[in-house]
Every structure is written in structure tokens, then in C-alpha cells.
Amino acid sequence: MNIHEYQAKELLKAAGVAVLDGYVAWTPDEAVAAAEKLPGPIYVVKSQIHAGGRGAGRFSDDPDGKGGVRLAKSIEETRAAAEAMLGHTLITKQTGPAGKTVHRIYVEAGCDIARELYLSLLVDRATSRILIMASTEGGMEIEDVAEHSPEKILRVAIDPATGISAFHARGLAFGLGLSGKQVGSFTKFVLAMYKAFVELDCAIVEINPLVVTKAGEVVALDAKVSFDDNALFRHPELEELRDEAEEDPKELEANKYSLSYVALDGTIGCMVNGAGLAMATMDIIKLYGGEPANFLDVGGGATKERVTAAFKIILSDPNVEGILVNIFGGIMRCDVIAEGVIAAAREVSLTVPLVVRLEGTNVALGKEIMAKSGLPIIAADNLADAAEKVVRAVKEAA
């Protein structure tokens, strides 16, 4: 689960991480009230959407060509910036061409920036540890730094048995070329970040840029926090930070049924059991020249209701031109899948080709139920056969 920058900053602040003063605003009047509470004379008005690259982004209808993060030199300019952002669609490198509508903004104190650095914490699968990454290349996308100048990324993996110590942070501080008072400020910052990361069960915390002020303080200018969904049950208070307007409605619906669904931009919807088989299905669709519309793992113990829900979610995607159901009935019985597929297909009046490959427990019964349903289901014998059939059926239907 992702949250907005201002929410991330509130959580980090509570954990002792240095952030600037700021207030969220939903209307231009609230933006003015927020600015009046800040010392001024520089205010920064920041669009709150779940995507980065806001500063360099553009509003779809904005004639002045200014981005989603703006400096305002007065209360009047703050109001003007708020009016230009609220209710408008911001397009950044990360939003895709459709952009995202700005419903809230963050009005923050302006900062006297001496240096922009990069800092992030994430769960590293290779070392099974929390990895701290830091770089002198603040404000740039870390993927670009990794590609063009990987030597500029410093890494420290923290042993969970001992946790973090000040020396870890000091090592990074010296690597970043910090000196004097900056080192202490950075160390305090990193220790507080690590504590927040562990306590909140984060998946990623990215501070880009991390700023060294002219006064030698280290503060978070931007903050991106993403939580580990599997640990969210331990943090009911975090669930309240969810902004449903930012989430794919299909993924939200899938979440209700504990379906593992990820929307993609292809045309072939897939319903599969098991994440590995789902990945293999997506690969083989591509191998046969198609593009998957989604990743979907219905799980091992899916009921007829869940299968029906999954089917409806796939069909609610307007890009879907064909569906491939690929089920290995190990824990799950093929007849249950067959009934779910038929029930859903009837309920939504299926208009796209449907290819089903079943294997495993009760496969004969499953196939029989499908054949007798009277629905135009294309049966497939194996994975390659299924992929070839669905790609061909979509081409023929077009």
C-alpha cells in the first residue's frame, strides 16, 4: 500500500525524522490558511498524488506550463498555485499518459537547499535484510543513477539480529562527503528512518531528495512510503491512510476477495491458480504473440464465489479481448473452477473468446461441466495449446 507524501512525512516526523513544517489542503482557502501558519516568505505548493516526478510533470490543461511542485513567493501566489493544481490532472513520467487528478495539496515551508542527496531503505531479497541506499545524485531517479553511474550508489545491509548502529550511518555520511555538524544530523536521520521502517513494516521508504540545508541540517524534502501489505493487519491505523482514488478499482475489488490481482495493459485476461503458474501463463501468452491484461492468482483454496468475482474483475477491464483460464487442480478441484467460470460467464454475458485449460483433480468432471454448459468455451489440452488458441481467437475476433 502506498500513501501520500504528507502522510509519509507525518509518520516519519513522529518517529523523529527531520521534515519541514507543512499542512495538507483540499481547497485554495485551506492552502492560504496553511501558508498563513508558516513563517514564509517562500512557500512550496506540492500536488499530492501517488506518483513521483511531480516537479517535472505538467498539468493536462495548464497553459502556463508549470509543474506539480511550485515555489510561491507570497500568500497570493500560494492561492494561485493551489487553484492551478486542485481538480486538475497532473501527468508525470510515473503516472502514464492519462495522468492523475490532484485532490489534495501540501503547503510546505520553503527550504534553503545546499545539497540534494538520495536516501532509501528497502527490503533486499538478495541479502534478506533491510538495505540502506544513499547517493550524492539527489533529485534524479535512482534507476537512472544505477544505470549510468552505479558507483555513485552506496549500500549498507543491516543485520536484523543486531539492528542498526550509528557507525552504519556515519559510514554513509562520509561516503556522501558530509562533514562537521552534517554528519551528526544525517546519523540521527538515518537511525530514525530505520526505526520507522521496522516499526511500520515498510516495504520501501525513499527520500529523494534528502536535503542538506545551508545551516547544515539534514531534512527530508520528499518522502515516499510503501507498506508491506502482508503486515497491514498489524497496523489498522495505517489502513485509514489508504486513498482509494489512487488505486486501480479492479485491484481494490480483487483485494476484497483476497485475490492476488495486478492490472496490466494487454488484451488477454488470465485467471490462474498459483503465482508461479500465473507468471508462466503470462510468459507463454507473450511467446505466442499476445499481451496479458493482468496477473491473477485465484489461490489454492478458491471457492466458486471467488472464481466468479475474479472472472468479473477480468471482464470489467475494457481492454480485455479474450480470456485464458489456466488451472491446475491440486488443492482446488477442476469441477469447482468449471462451475465458477460458467456461473460468471452467464452473469456477465460473455462477449469475448474464452479458452480454458484444466488439469488435475476432477479434470474429467470439470471438462464435462464445461462441455454441457452450452457456452462457447474453447477447451485446451496443455499450456502451449491454450496460449496459441487464445491468441488466435483474439485475432480472429478482431
Catalytic residues, by residue number, are 118, 206
Return the C-alpha cell found at 353.
Answer: 473468446
Q: Is 2 within any annotated ligand binding site?
A: no
The answer to the question of whether 16 is labelled as a binding residue is: no
Q: Is 78 helix (H, G, I), strand (E, B) or coil?
A: helix
Do 21 and 107 meet the contact criterion of CB atoms below 8 Å apart? no
- In the shown chain, the binding pattern of residues 211 to 250 toward ligand ADP, with x for contact by CB under 6 A and - for none, equals ----------xx----------------------------
Choose one: 183-191, 214-222, 293-301, 334-342; the region binding Mg ion (CB under 5 A): 214-222
Q: Which does 175 bind (CB under 5 to 8 A by kind): ligand ADP, Mg ion, none?
A: none
* 199 labelled binding-site residue: no
Farthest CA pair distance, the chain: 79
Residue nearest to Mg ion (CB): 222
Select the residue interacting with Mg ion from 208, 213, 267, 362 (CB under 5 A).
Answer: 208
Q: Decide if residue 69 touches ligand ADP (CB under 6 A).
A: yes
Indicate the residue among 222 and 317 with the shorter CB distance to Mg ion: 222
Beta-bridged to residue 212, according to DSSP, are: 115, 218
Q: What angle do helix axes 249-256 and 304-315 make, rounded to 10 degrees?
A: 180
Site for ligand ADP in 14-53 (CB under 6 A): 20, 44, 46, 52-53
Instruction: Tell me the C-alpha distance between 193 and 226, whole Å.
Output: 13
Dump the DSSP string for 242-298: --GGGS-HHHHHHHHTT-EEEE-SSSEEEEESSHHHHHHHHHHHHHTT--BSEEEE-
Query: For residue 118, how many other CB atoms are within 10 A of its CB?
Result: 25
Instruction: Tell me the residue length of the chain.
Output: 398
Which of 48/267 has CB closer to ligand ADP?
A: 48
Question: Of these partners, Mg ion, ligand ADP, none, which one is at the site of residue 53 (CB under 5 to 8 Å by kind)?
Answer: ligand ADP
Q: From CA 82, how far away is CA 91, in angstroms rounded?
A: 16
**Stretches 102-110, 180-188, 200-208, 323-331: which one binds Mg ion (CB under 5 A)?**
200-208
208 annotated among ligand-binding-site residues: yes
C-alpha cell at 92: 508525470
Task: State in angstroms the smallest separation of the CB of 108 from Mg ion.
Answer: 13
- Residues near ligand ADP, by CB under 6 A: 20, 44, 46, 52-55, 69, 108, 110-111, 113, 116, 139, 209, 221-222
Binding residues for Mg(2+): 208, 222
